[in-house]
Structure 1
Amino acid sequence: MLNVGCHLSLSGGYEAMGKDALKINANTFQFFTRNPRGGAAKEIDPADAEALKVLMEKNNFAPLLAHASYTLNLCSSNPQTRNFGRETMIDDLNRLKQLPCKLYNFHPGSHTGQGIETGIKQITEALNKIITEDLDICILLETMSGKGSEVGGKFEEIREIIDGVELNDKLGVCLDTCHIYDGGYDIVNDLDGVLTQFDKIIGLDRLKAIHLNDSMNPMGSHKDRHAKIGEGNIGLDTFGRIINHPKLKHLPFLLETPNEPEGYGEEIKLLRGLYKG
């Protein structure tokens, strides 16, 4: 079965997101843990969380993906911003214990002029303070496009972060198709080669989720501009190969395309039509 969903709004609550997913024939979804541009998180209603759990079990949902806010930056040149990011992540992880969600994704961060190595060092230092032995949620580092001062635009950078974390069995990766394509990885003409490279550098066992996004820009542009599935430079054929690839097809696929729920429903229908089982 193809495990596919999209990004949904938390405004109506957790069970409401599950119901919204079912309306568009999705069996997973992604949500922000708080306002993506920052701010306090909403209190979690235990009854709402339990209702979502029941809905997921009844409808054979794949793992959900919680996404950290965009303001979280563990490697900013501003110490206050780094501290805010660390405290926000700790709060997010504590709150997620109340939900049927065991995957937490975040953008590694932007070193804001300090250099990649300093950025990586600060990210690993933060994660070593955040991750504890009793953590039962897998923290996913998202692959990035390498724009500006982003960390994580190369597989080697993700690997270096993982290697610097003591309890790195708690870490995984979320691969974003637009990001890696814009980052220079040719998934259109050499998907197997890119996956071999990923496996050699990071390990496919670390790959826990995929963001399915087409790209408005050509390969290697380092722009990070998402397009609807089949309407960008990656193209529909490539997405068909991705969702049917024997090393990937078991994973949850999450759409982050420029769309509304109805449009996501059309994309999900399109992807299910491409899936060969």
Structure 2
Amino acid sequence: MLKIGCHLSTSKGFKNMGKEALEIKANTFQFFTRNPRGSKAKAIDEKDVAEFLELAKENNFTTILAHAPYTLNACSADENTRAFAKEVMEDDLARMEYTPNSLYNFHPGSHVKQGVEVGIKYISDLLNEVLKPEQTTTVLLETMAGKGTEIGRTFEELQEILSRVRLSDKMGVCLDTCHVYDAGYDIVNDLDGVLEQFDKIIGLDKLRAIHLNDSMNPFESHKDRHATIGEGSIGLEAIANIINHPKLCNLPFFLETPNELEGHAKEIALLKSIYKVV
């Protein structure tokens, strides 16, 4: 069974996100924990969450993925911005326990000319402060395209963060197909080689989710512009290889393509039609 979903709006609550996912034949979804460009988080409606959990159980949903706001920069040069990142992540992880055993993804951040080493230390320090032994949520570092001073453009940078986190069992990686392709990992012509690199440097056991996106820009462009599945420089054949790869096919895939719900429904139908794993 293909584990597939897209990004849905949290404005109508968890139960309605679950219903929207079912409408487009998805069995999971991604959502922002709060305003993606701000700090405000909607109050948790426990009744709504309980109804969603029942809906998810009845319809065999797989793991859902929460996405931290884009404003969270754990390695900023500004102390107040780092303090904000800690406050947001602590609050998000507490809220995530309403939907146990879920995934929480965040962009490692931009070191803003401080240097990668300094940025990595800030990120790992924050994770060591906010992660709790009792939490059921797995926190994911997202692979990045390498714009500006982004951290996470290489597998080595992600591993350096992971190696410094004490509660390593609470951590994983979300691989974004557009980002890694734009960063210079050739998943079109050498998917096996890229996965071998990932396994050697990080370990495939740490790969917990995939953002399934085509790319508007060419290989190694460091641009990070997502395209609809099959309409970018990665292409449908490479996407098919990714979702059918024996080391990837059982992971949850999340679309972040430039589409509305109807467009995502078409993409999901297309992906299901080329998914060959029994």
Task: Mark yes or no: TM-score above 0.5.
Answer: yes
| 1:251-262 alignment, distance < 5 Å | 251-262=251-262
Contact 1:49 1:100 in 2 (8 A): no
Tell me the equivalent position of 1:99.
99
Shift of 1:99: 2.0
Amino acid at match of 1:269: A
Number of residue-to-residue matches in the alignment: 277
Greater than 2 Å deviation, 4+ residue runs: none
Shift of 1:25: 0.4
CA distance in 1, matches of 2:61, 2:274: 20
1:6 and 2:3 equivalent?
no
Contact 1:215 1:232 in 2 (8 A): yes
Contact 1:146 1:152 in 2 (8 A): yes
Tell me the equivalent position of 2:211.
211
Amino acid at match of 1:124: S
Tell me the equivalent position of 1:58.
58
Residue by residue, what CA displacement relative to the aligned partner does 1:13-55 show, whole Å, maximum 9, x if unpaired? Answer: 1000000000000000000000100122111111100111011
1:67 and 2:70 equivalent?
no
CA distance in 2, matches of 1:22, 1:92: 25
Residue by residue, what CA displacement relative to the aligned partner does 1:181-206 show, whole Å, maximum 9, x if unpaired? Answer: 00000000000000000000000000
Q: Secondary structure at the match of 1:139?
A: strand
| 1:20-31 alignment, distance < 5 Å | 20-31=20-31
Contact 1:73 1:108 in 2 (8 A): yes
CA distance in 2, matches of 1:170, 1:245: 25
1:247 and 2:247 equivalent?
yes
Tell me the equivalent position of 2:220.
220
Moved more, 249-258 or 98-107: 98-107
1:79 and 2:79 equivalent?
yes
Q: Secondary structure at the match of 2:231?
A: coil
TM-score, normalised on structure 1? 0.99
Contact 2:100 2:137 in 1 (8 A): no
CA distance in 2, matches of 1:168, 1:125: 13
| 1:168-187 alignment, distance < 5 Å | 168-187=168-187
Tell me the equivalent position of 2:110.
110
Contact 1:53 1:100 in 2 (8 A): no
- Backbone CA RMSD of aligned residues: 0.7
CA distance in 1, matches of 2:207, 2:187: 16
1:266 and 2:238 equivalent?
no
Contact 1:145 1:180 in 2 (8 A): yes
Shift of 1:110: 0.5
Tell me the equivalent position of 2:34.
34
Contact 1:104 1:140 in 2 (8 A): yes
Contact 2:33 2:67 in 1 (8 A): yes
Structure 1 residues without counterparts, runs of 5 or longer: none
Residues 101 and 20 of structure 1, relative CA distance in 2, 3 Å threshold: farther
TM-score, normalised on structure 2? 0.98
Structure 2 residues without counterparts, runs of 5 or longer: none
